[in-house]
């Protein structure tokens, strides 16, 4: 088989298998491996690593788009000094996303302007592929003359969980 025919077939098969990164990068990686005197397994490993990394990146980007976050917000841009009632240590712990492994839910409650959307968005950006089910915050609507979501939830909260604090629930995922 000629080199040109092999290249045409390889291009065709990589397109058919939907491996765009491998299609784009195989010549460059092959050249690098040849210069470094690497074997075919190293070439294949590098090529698959590149494809895998780019797929993970694209998946992460798709998840962020699907979550429809209002704006890009991270924990780095949150002003904990302006909201001293927010437990920064707990927020840093939540950013590790261990609550996902324990199938715990995270609920942010508080008055308008306390940073709920900012913190929820920051959590969603921490591991987007895992936090895809982040629900964008919606304002609570009164159901009667004086009935609000906060009043409905008060019986469910202990005093330490109340008043703009962040807490966890273990109600499945």
Higher pLDDT, 119 or 32: 32
Three-state secondary structure call for residue 111: coil
**Mean pLDDT in the chain?**
76
Distance CA 87, CA 161 (A): 11
Per-residue pLDDT of 37-50, as tens digits, reads 999 999 999 999 99
Distance CA 34, CA 21 (A): 19
Q: In percent, how much of the chain has pLDDT > 70?
A: 72
pTM of the model: 0.54
In this prediction, residue 130 carries a pLDDT of 54
């Amino acid at each position: 088989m000629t080199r040109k025919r092999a290249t045409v077939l390889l291009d065709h098969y990589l397109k058919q298998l939907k491996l765009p990164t491998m299609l784009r990068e195989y010549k460059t990686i092959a050249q690098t491996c040849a210069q470094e005197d690497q074997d075919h397994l190293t070439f294949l490993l590098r090529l698959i690593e590149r494809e895998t990394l780019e797929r993970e990146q694209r998946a992460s980007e798709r998840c962020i788009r699907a979550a429809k976050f209002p704006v890009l917000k991270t924990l780095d841009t949150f002003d904990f000094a302006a909201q001293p009632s927010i437990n920064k240590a707990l927020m840093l712990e939540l950013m590790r996303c261990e609550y996902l492994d324990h199938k715990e839910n995270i609920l942010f409650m508080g008055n308008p302007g306390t940073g709920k959307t900012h913190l929820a968005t920051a959590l969603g950006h921490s591991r987007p592929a895992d936090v895809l089910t982040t629900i964008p915050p919606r304002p609570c609507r009164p159901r009667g003359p004086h009935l609000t979501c906060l009043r409905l939830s008060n019986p469910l909260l202990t005093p330490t969980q109340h008043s703009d604090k962040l807490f966890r629930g273990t109600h499945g995922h």
